[in-house]
């Protein structure tokens, strides 16, 4: 009789990967009924989007959830991807950790090929039903339909049934149907919310969702271009671990250290490879296969001492400033937000050899709730993160930013701010450091958090600028009302009563205003952005002023101009030197921008020069760095226009007269 | 109203418009200067024994939106008044508020606003709002007591009315105009006037025969009394030499009712000498009555407390009696209604409370 220890050892061996996950399903995120359903949809949709993008197809993804029984749902996800060859189908859907992406250094949604097969397995465990996959590749006449279950002991797929089928009107694509126990809910953590957020960060995709009550919701495609394909890159030396280096050295086919560094890593030049070897005091000609542990350690130290270029960023797929705005607008139309802050896409940085970049977008106002915490939309590699908000580096970064400086309410200057806003944060990386295998929250890596905070601040500044502008506008608007509407009426009425001609108003108007007021607007019409900048000279004297604006590159339309700019720079900076505007006269600068998407331009950036800044309302003084770099709006509070009150304002007396 | 007062009113209104016109014409920011209508700007006028606006002024200027809008409203109102004078029409204050519906941007936001503007015009012109063909809504304050008046009624007849014998239990209704051309006070042999805040207490005194038994004239104030009620009390006091006592609830708001009868209201301080009766006496409910008579009470609300504290800064209440009353009430943290006296039965007020209080004031003729 064998010993108990032997028995256990035998058993242990038998635990396959599938079995391990079956016993620890919460690791994959299938830990509650509500969550399971979302996870199932998420894994299938992620796969569809990745497949479409790899094949350069604009994704068209359909999701349907039907209720089969009290706790049992049928999930169908269909895409227009390239399809999967019949012989690969069983492994793709019926084998955990199968897939090409596992070893690649590139940004992708799934990152590890564990998702869809885990879904298949979860469905199988909870309902006992097989998964049906139908797929068609363009070069084949028919589609194949397979019914698959997973042999959890062996981590191998078992095909129960396979038939060729005619797929009407379908050139290529994949459809997966599985059953699982779950619970369908609506709200912040729901299939609907997952799809909505996915649509925001994937404006090139179209999503159709049919919910269990048969309602059909479509998120239309907002952008007809695929994001640029991401490339696989070789490991970047930053953050390289000793074990990885030794493994790579053992496996390389190259015979010298310099060649090994140059070819098997990214961003190492011949010169840099030599420098590393010199610093480690190892011959550049040494065979990597013969490195000792001690030598490897020295190499790691040396790598840390040389300056290595950041990894190339074409392995990352940022959504991009334009598309963040477009995606948000496309999905948030109903909330009618008043402002979309200029989104921020940061340059890639490196964490432990993996490039990452951070993007932030802020939406403000409209029908968004004013008295609640802001809504946080978290994304990792274009995938929404719905769970574990509190544990996520994105949330932590938002909490540690002082939002009071950017116009949101926040008690004590930390924690989640309150106000009518949505904050979107996207972290893209070849390897996102998640807190767990369920990929629900990004781990708190200081470098990543610092980048997120920086991006939040830049975007926050854009929000603050908007709020300042709005505030100034409303104050000036009130004065404008006085001089343009109320005062003329007072003049007319008084003239009528005393039976005299209506008096001229200019003297009074300039005394009330005594500013040059700049008002602007932009509308999108017939494929062009029409911009109007109006300058009202409400001062007692003629004023000469220069106006400077920043518009997208190459968009300025030279036709139909009344005031020709004095200068138009390549980077979109335009300067007008306007003729003297007589007192109480106005001047309109009208021009068009052509060839831009509607969303690409919706807020004028206006500066002035050549005049005392206290005389101008409605634009900012030209910053000193205008000619140096891309403009960053400096945070100056609008100049206070306090008038000296030589007398008490009769109508501003707070005391109520009716208290006796 | 005579043609002469009409001409005066038109002339005064023209002056306002002309002033605004000239300011704009000379390139200034148009403004109107008015005395501040605040409690910090009322001063005792020793000549009349009432409180009037002091010297502090404020400007209504077109520099700010509110001021500009009020100036525009003023212009519309001037036009409206001129039209009414020409066409021999008049409107109620409420009608004026609704007329402004057609003034577009100049429309009043509330009737308070239009009422205040009509008072502003009185202050600036020295005319009365009746001269502007503006009148208040009938407020139905009433009088019962041995008093004979002659009213020039709507049919042009002079009606002689004894306010005890010729009226029902609701008394003689005080019209909005109580000037001599409308109401003539003929005679009265009453000993005093008792002005009562609430309708419930007025009816109680009527039912208990207080007017007859105590040879008094009962005036229902109906809360904060209208101008005509105050004016009529003043005339009775002056022309018939009748002393006036004021009988209200015991709360901060009632103190203000008394102040407006006796000292002049802040809101109408420009015509205090015409409305206020300086010799009027406060009979109760006083703060000390609450303890002395062990009256049922309510707790002071936050608003009550604020009102009392505001009264401590009100120059009209700046004497030993009122300081004592206000501080006692704050200390007790309680208030009482007139009707709280019913705790001791329906006749208690006329059999015991009022005789005691009137006795203290030396007003009871034995």
- Averages of pLDDT over runs of 10 residues in chain B (366 residues) are 77 93 94 92 94 93 92 95 91 94 92 93 92 84 94 89 92 90 92 95 95 95 92 95 96 96 94 95 93 95 95 94 95 95 95 94 74
Contact check, Cβ <8 Å, B60/A493 = no
Number of structural domains chain A divides into: 4
Q: Is the CB of residue B59 less than 8 Å away from at least one CB of chain A?
A: yes
Which pLDDT band holds residue A637 (cuts at 50, 70, 90)? Answer: very low
Same domain, A27 and A146: yes
Q: What percent of chain A has pLDDT over 70?
A: 88
Q: Residue A660: its chain B contacts at CB < 8 A?
A: 224, 256, 259-260, 265-267
CATH number of the structural domain spanning residue B10:
1.10.10.10
Give the Cβ contact number of residue A141 at 10 Å: 7
Report the residue from A490, A647, A655 with minimal CB separation from B39: A655
- List Cα–Cα distances, A323 to A178, A224, A381, A598, in angstroms: 33, 11, 15, 12
B219 and B277, same domain (yes or no): yes
State the pairing for strand pair B57-61/A648-649.
parallel
pLDDT tens figures, A134-173:
999 998 888 999 999 888 777 788 889 999 999 988 899 9
Domain co-membership, A306 together with A348: no
Task: Check CB contact under 8 Å for A496 and B71.
Answer: no
Which residue among B20, B39, B66 places its CB closest to the CB of A651? B66
Q: What is the distance, to the nearest Å, from the Cα of residue B171 to the centroid of all Cα atoms in its chain?
A: 19
pLDDT at position A634 is 40
Is there a single domain that holds both residue B210 and residue B66? Answer: no
- Nearest CA distance, A642 vs chain B (angstrom): 12
Average pLDDT, rounded, for chain A? 84
> What pLDDT, on a 0 to 100 scale, did the predictor assign at position A659?
46
Question: Is residue A168 domain-shared with residue A85, that is, in the same domain?
Answer: yes
Q: Which two tokens stand for residue B325?
A: 């009353």
3-class secondary structure, A567: strand
Q: Could you tell me if B163 and B215 lie in one domain?
A: yes
- B301 and B185 both lie in a single domain: yes
Please, which residues have CB within 8 angstroms of residue A246's CB and are 6 or more apart in sequence? A291, A293, A296
Quick one: A333 exposed, middle or buried, by C-beta within 10 A (0-12, 13-18, 19+)? exposed
State whether residue A658 is helix, strand or coil: coil
Q: B53 and B27 share a domain? A: yes
Burial code of A575-598, b = ≥16 C-beta within 10 A, e = fewer? bbebeebebbeebebebbbeebbe
Least confident of A78-87, A581-590, A644-653, B1-10: A644-653
Residues A210 and A272 in one domain: no
- Which pair of structure tokens corresponds to residue B334? 């309680």
Task: Give the B window 76-115 contacts with A, CB below 8 Å.
Answer: 76, 78-79, 82, 105-106, 112
Domain membership of residue B58 (yes or no) is yes
Least CB–CB distance from B68: residue in A482, A506, A655: A482
Longest CA–CA span in chain B (Å) reads: 72
Q: Among A218-222, A256-260, A440-444, B300-304, which range has the highest average pLDDT?
A: B300-304
Question: Which is it for strands B192-196 and B244-247: parallel, antiparallel or unpaired?
Answer: parallel
Residue of B21, B38, B307 with shortest CB distance to A655:
B38
**pLDDT at residue A17 in the model:** 61
Question: A477 in a domain, yes or no?
Answer: no
Range of the domain at A426: 339-462
Token pair 């920086």 is at which residue? A454
Burial state string for A73-94 with b = 16 or more CB within 10 A and e = fewer than 16: bbbbbbbbbbbbebeebbbbbb
Does the structure show a pLDDT above 70 at A616?
yes
Please give the pLDDT value at position A450. 93
Q: Do A511 and B38 touch (CB under 8 A)?
A: no
Nearest CA in chain A to B316: A660
Give the pLDDT of residue A50: 87
More confident residue, A102 or A192: A192
- Residues near A53 by beta carbon (within 8 Å), at least 6 away in sequence: A59, A226, A227, A229
In a domain, B365, yes or no: no
Q: What is the rounded end-to-end Cα distance, in angstroms, of chain B?
A: 45
User: Cα–Cα distance between A379 and A56 in angstroms, integer?
Assistant: 22
The predicted structure's pLDDT at residue A635: 39
Residue A631 has pLDDT above 50, yes or no: no
Active-site residue flag, B14: no
B13 and B94 together in one domain: yes
CB atoms within 10 A of CB A352: 14
CB of A651 closer than 8 Å to CB of B302: no
Residue A209 main-chain phi, psi, to 5 deg: -125, 130
Check A657 against B116: CB less than 8 A apart. yes
Tokens 């079956």 sit on residue: A22
Q: Which among A503, A512, A649 has CB closest to B58?
A: A649
- Residue A525 belongs to a domain: yes
Q: Are A490 and B24 in contact (CB < 8 Å)?
A: yes
B58 touches A at CB < 8 Å:
yes
Q: How many domains does chain B have?
A: 2
Average of per-residue pLDDT across A122-144: 90
B366 located within any domain: no
Residue A378 has phi, psi (to 5 degrees) of: -105, 135
The answer to whether the CB atoms of B64 and A504 lie below 8 A apart is no
Q: What is the reported pLDDT for A641?
A: 43
For A569, counting Cβ atoms within 10 Å of its Cβ (0-12 exposed, 13-18 middle, 19+ buried), the class is middle
- Please say if the pLDDT value at position A57 is more than 70: yes
Query: DSSP character for A28?
Result: G
Searching chain A, which residue's CA lies closest to the CA of residue B264? A660
Same domain for A247 and A204:
no
- Report B:133-192 residues touching A (Cβ under 8 A): none
Q: Which residue of A has its CA nearest to B267?
A: A657
Mean pLDDT of A69-86: 92
Q: Which helix (H) or strand (E) holds A191?
A: helix A191-201
Contact call for residues A473 and B7 (beta carbons, < 8 A): no
- Backbone Cα Rg of chain A: 32
Distance of alpha carbon B166 from alpha carbon B151, whole angstroms: 13
CA distances from A537 to A511, A514, B18 (A): 12, 8, 29
Handedness of CA A531, A535, A536, A538 (dihedral sign): positive
Cis peptide before B32 (omega within 30 of 0): no
SS (H, E, C) chain B: CCHHHHHHHHHHHHHHHHHHHHHHHCCCCCEEEEECCCHHHEEEECCCCEEEECCCEEEEECCCHHHHHHHHHHHHHHHHHHHHHHHCCCEEHHHHHHHHHHHHHHCCCCHHHHHHHHHHHHHHHCCCHHHHCEECCCCCCEEECCEEEEEECCCCCEEEEECCCCCCCCCEECCCCCCCCCEEEEEECCCEEEEECCHHHHHHHHHCCHHHHCCEEEEECCCCCCHHHHHHHHHHHHHCCCCEEEECCECHHHHHHHHHHHCCCCCCHHHHHHHCCCCCEEEECCHHHHHHCCCCCEECCHHHHHHHHHHHCCHHHCCHHHHHHHHHHHHHCEEECHHHHHHHCCCHHHHHHHHHHHHHCCCCCC
Instruction: Write down the pLDDT at residue A106.
Output: 62
Please check whether residues B36 and B165 belong to one and the same domain. Answer: no
Please check whether residue A182 is in contact with residue A37, taking contact to mean a CB–CB distance below 8 angstroms.
Answer: yes
| B267–chain A Cβ distance below 8 A for any pair | yes
**Same domain, yes or no: A133 and A51:** yes
Rounded Cα–Cα distance for residues A468 and A452 (Å) = 24
- Under 8 Å between Cβ of A493 and A382: no
Write out chain A residues lying below 8 Å of B59, CB-based.
647-650
A492 versus A526: the higher-pLDDT residue is A492
Report the gap between the CA of B13 and the closest CA in chain A (Å).
Answer: 9
Report pLDDT for B365.
66
Q: Residue A105 has what pLDDT?
A: 60
Confirm if B279 and B261 have CB atoms less than 8 A apart. Answer: no
State pLDDT tens for residues A307-339: 888 777 677 888 888 888 888 888 888 888 888
For residues A37 and A100, state if they share a domain: yes
Are A154 and A291 members of one domain? no
Question: Which residues of chain A does B29 touch, with a Cβ-Cβ cutoff of 8 Å?
Answer: 508, 511-512
Nearest to A377 by CA among A447, A454, A324: A324
CA B143 to chain centre: 16
Closest CB to B36: pick one of A489, A493, A653: A653
Q: Which of A170, A188, A219 is the last residue of a domain?
A: A219
Q: Which residues have C-beta within 8 Å of that of residue B357, sequence separation ≥ 6?
A: B283, B284
Does residue B205 fall inside a structural domain? yes
How confident is the model at residue A125, as a pLDDT? 84
Which of B28, B58, B307 is closest, CB to CB, to A511? Answer: B28
CB contact under 8 A, A490 and B20: yes
CATH number, domain with residue A362 = 3.30.230.10
Q: Is B310 domain-assigned?
A: yes
Mark whether B313 and B196 lie in a shared domain: yes
Distance between CA atoms of residues B20 and B22, nearest Å = 5
User: How close is the nearest chain A Cα to the Cα of B211, in Å?
Assistant: 28
> Does the structure show a pLDDT above 60 at A658?
no
Is A536 within 8 Å of A517 (Cβ atoms)? yes
The reported pLDDT for the residue numbered A633 is 40
Query: Which residue in the list B21, B76, B98, B293 is annotated as catalytic?
Result: B98
B60 contacts A650? CB cut-off 8 A: yes
B92 and B179 inside one domain: no
Q: Is A463 helix (H, G, I), strand (E, B) or coil?
A: helix
Residues 299-358, chain B, touching A (beta carbon < 8 A): 307, 310
Query: Distance between CA atoms of B234 and A317, rounded to whole angstroms?
Result: 88
Q: CA B274, B278, B281: angle at the middle one, nearest 5?
A: 135
CA distance A653 to chain B (A): 8
Contact A468, A638 (CB under 8 A): yes
Tokens encoding B75: 């212009």
**Residue numbers in B near A500 (CB within 8 A):** 21
**B20 in A contact zone (CB under 8 Å):** yes
Q: Which of A397-401, A495-499, B139-143 is predicted with the least confidence, judged by mean pLDDT?
A: B139-143
The last residue of one of the domains, among B109, B135, B161, is B135
Contacts of A657 in chain B (CB under 8 A): 37, 116, 266-267
B82 lies in the same domain as B185 = no
Per-residue model confidence (pLDDT) at position A5: 56
Looking at the structure, tell me whether residues B209 and B338 fall in a common domain.
Answer: yes
Q: Which two tokens stand for residue A69?
A: 């029984």
* Residue numbers of the domain that contains B262: 142-360
Clarify whether residues A204 and A123 are in a common domain.
yes
Buried (b) or exposed (e) across A446-470, using 16+ Cβ within 10 A?
A: eebbebbbbbbbbbbbbbbbbbbbe
Cα separation, A639 vs A346, in Å, equals 32
Indicate which of A483, A491, A494 best probes the interface with B, i.e. most B CBs within 10 Å of its own CB: A494
Q: How many CB atoms lie within 10 A of CB A407?
A: 20
Tell me A232's DSSP state: P
Report the sign of the C-alpha dihedral through residues B83, B88, B93, B95, in that order: negative
Angstrom distances, CA of residue A95 to CA of A76, B70, B110: 20, 80, 75
In angstroms, the separation between the Cα of residue B71 and the nearest Cα of chain A is 7
Among B135, B156, B174, residue at a domain's last position:
B135
Residue with tokens 């409308």: B182
A-side interface with B, Cβ within 8 Å? 478-479, 481-482, 485-487, 489-491, 493-498, 500, 503-508, 511-512, 643, 647-653, 655, 657-660
Answer left, alpha or beta for residue B302, where phi above 0 means left and psi between -120 and 50 means alpha.
alpha
Residues B185 and B207 in one domain: yes
């Amino acid at each position: 009789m064998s010993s108990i220890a032997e028995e256990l050892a035998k058993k242990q061996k038998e635990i396959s990967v599938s079995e391990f996950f079956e016993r620890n399903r919460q690791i994959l995120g299938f830990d509650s009924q509500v969550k399971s359903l979302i996870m199932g949809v998420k894994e299938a949709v992620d796969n569809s989007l990745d497949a479409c993008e790899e094949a350069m197809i604009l994704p068209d993804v359909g999701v349907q959830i039907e209720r089969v029984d009290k706790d049992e749902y049928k999930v169908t996800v269909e895409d227009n991807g390239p399809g999967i060859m019949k012989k690969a189908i069983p492994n793709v859907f019926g084998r955990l950790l199968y897939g090409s992406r596992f070893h690649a250094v590139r940004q992708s949604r799934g990152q590890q090929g564990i998702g869809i097969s885990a879904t298949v397995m979860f469905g199988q465990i909870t309902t006992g039903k097989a998964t049906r996959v139908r797929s068609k590749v363009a070069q084949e006449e028919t589609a194949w339909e397979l019914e698959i279950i997973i042999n959890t002991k062996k981590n191998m797929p078992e095909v129960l049934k396979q038939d060729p089928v005619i797929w009407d009107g379908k050139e290529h694509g994949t459809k997966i149907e599985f059953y699982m126990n779950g619970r369908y809910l609506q709200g912040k953590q729901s299939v609907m919310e997952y799809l909505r957020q996915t649509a925001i960060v994937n404006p090139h995709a179209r999503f159709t969702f049919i919910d269990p009550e048969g309602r059909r919701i479509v998120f239309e495609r907002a952008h007809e271009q695929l994001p640029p394909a991401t490339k696989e890159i070789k490991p970047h030396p930053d953050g390289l671990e000793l074990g990885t280096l030794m493994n790579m050295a053992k496996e390389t086919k190259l015979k010298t250290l310099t060649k090994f560094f140059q070819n098997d890593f990214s961003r190492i030049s011949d010169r840099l490879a030599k420098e590393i070897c010199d610093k480690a005091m190892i011959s550049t000609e040494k065979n990597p296969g013969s490195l000792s542990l001690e030598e490897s350690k020295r190499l790691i130290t040396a790598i840390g001492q040389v300056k290595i270029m950041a990894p190339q960023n074409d392995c990352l797929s940022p959504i991009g400033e334009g598309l963040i705005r477009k995606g948000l607008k496309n999905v948030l139309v109903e909330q009618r937000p008043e402002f979309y802050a200029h989104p921020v896409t940061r340059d890639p940085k490196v964490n432990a050899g993996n490039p990452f970049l951070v993007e932030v977008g802020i939406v403000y106002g409209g029908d968004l709730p004013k008295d609640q915490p802001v809504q946080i939309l978290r994304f990792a590699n274009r995938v929404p993160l719905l769970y574990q908000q509190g544990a996520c580096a994105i949330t932590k970064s938002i909490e540690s930013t002082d939002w009071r400086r950017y116009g949101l309410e926040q008690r004590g200057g930390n924690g989640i701010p309150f106000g009518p806003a949505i904050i979107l944060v996207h972290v893209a990386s070849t390897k996102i450091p998640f807190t767990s295998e369920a990929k629900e929250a990004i781990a708190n890596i200081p470098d990543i958090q610092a980048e997120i905070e920086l991006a939040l601040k830049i975007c926050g500044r854009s929000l603050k600028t908007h709020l300042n502008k709005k505030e100034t506008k409303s104050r000036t608007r009130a004065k404008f009302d006085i001089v343009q509407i109320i005062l003329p009426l007072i003049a007319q009425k008084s003239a009528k009563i005393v039976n005299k001609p209506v008096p001229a108003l200019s003297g009074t108007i300039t005394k009330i205003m005594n500013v040059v007021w700049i008002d602007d607007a932009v509308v999108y019409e017939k494929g062009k952005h029409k911009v109007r900048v109006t300058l009202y000279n409400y001062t007692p004297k003629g004023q000469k002023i220069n106006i400077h604006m920043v518009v997208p590159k190459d968009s300025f339309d030279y036709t139909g101009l009344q005031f020709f700019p004095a200068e138009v720079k390549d980077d979109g900076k335009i300067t007008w030197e306007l003729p003297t505007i007589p007192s109480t006269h106005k001047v309109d600068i009208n021009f068009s921008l052509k060839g831009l998407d509607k969303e690409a331009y919706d807020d004028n950036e206006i500066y002035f020069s050549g005049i005392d800044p206290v005389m101008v309302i409605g634009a900012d003084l030209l910053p000193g760095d205008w000619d140096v770099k891309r403009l960053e709006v400096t945070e100056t509070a609008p100049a206070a226009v306090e008038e000296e009150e030589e007398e008490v304002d009769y109508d501003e007396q707070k005391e109520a007269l009716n208290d006796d | 109203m005579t043609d002469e007062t009409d001409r005066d009113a038109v002339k005064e209104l023209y002056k306002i418009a002309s002033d605004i016109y000239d300011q704009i014409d000379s390139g200034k920011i148009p403004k109107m200067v008015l005395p501040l209508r605040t409690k910090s700007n009322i001063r005792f006028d020793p000549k009349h024994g009432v409180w009037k606006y002091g010297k502090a002024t404020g400007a209504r200027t077109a520099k700010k939106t509110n001021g500009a809008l009020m100036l525009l409203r003023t212009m519309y109102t001037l036009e409206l008044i001129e039209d009414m004078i020409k066409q021999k029409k008049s409107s109620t204050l409420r009608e004026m508020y609704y007329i402004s519906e057609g003034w577009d941007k100049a429309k009043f936001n509330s009737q308070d606003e239009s009422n205040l503007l009509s008072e502003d015009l009185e202050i600036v012109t020295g005319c009365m709002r009746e001269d502007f063909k503006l009148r208040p809504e009938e407020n139905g304050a009433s009088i019962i007591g041995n008093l004979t008046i002659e009213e020039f009624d709507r049919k042009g007849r002079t009606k002689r009315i004894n306010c005890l014998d010729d009226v029902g239990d609701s008394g003689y209704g005080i019209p909005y105009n109580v000037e001599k051309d409308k109401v003539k006070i003929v005679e009265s042999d009453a000993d005093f006037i008792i002005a009562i805040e609430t309708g419930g207490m007025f009816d109680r005194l009527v039912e208990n025969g207080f007017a007859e038994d105590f040879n008094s004239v009962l005036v229902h104030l109906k809360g904060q009394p209208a101008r005509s009620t105050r004016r009529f009390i003043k005339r009775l006091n002056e022309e018939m030499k009748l002393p006036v006592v004021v009988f209200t609830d015991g709360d901060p708001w009632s103190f203000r009712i008394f102040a407006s009868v006796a000292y002049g209201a802040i809101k109408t301080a420009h015509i205090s000498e015409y409305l206020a009766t300086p010799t009027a006496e406060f009979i109760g409910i006083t703060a000390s009555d609450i303890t002395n008579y062990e009256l049922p009470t309510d707790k002071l609300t936050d608003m009550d407390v604020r009102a009392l504290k505001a009264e401590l800064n009100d120059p009209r209440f700046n004497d030993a009696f009122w300081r004592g009353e206000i501080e006692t009430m704050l200390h007790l943290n309680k208030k009482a209604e007139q009707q709280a006296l019913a705790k001791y039965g329906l006749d208690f007020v006329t059999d015991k409370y009022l005789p005691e209080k009137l006795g203290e004031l030396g007003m009871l003729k034995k």
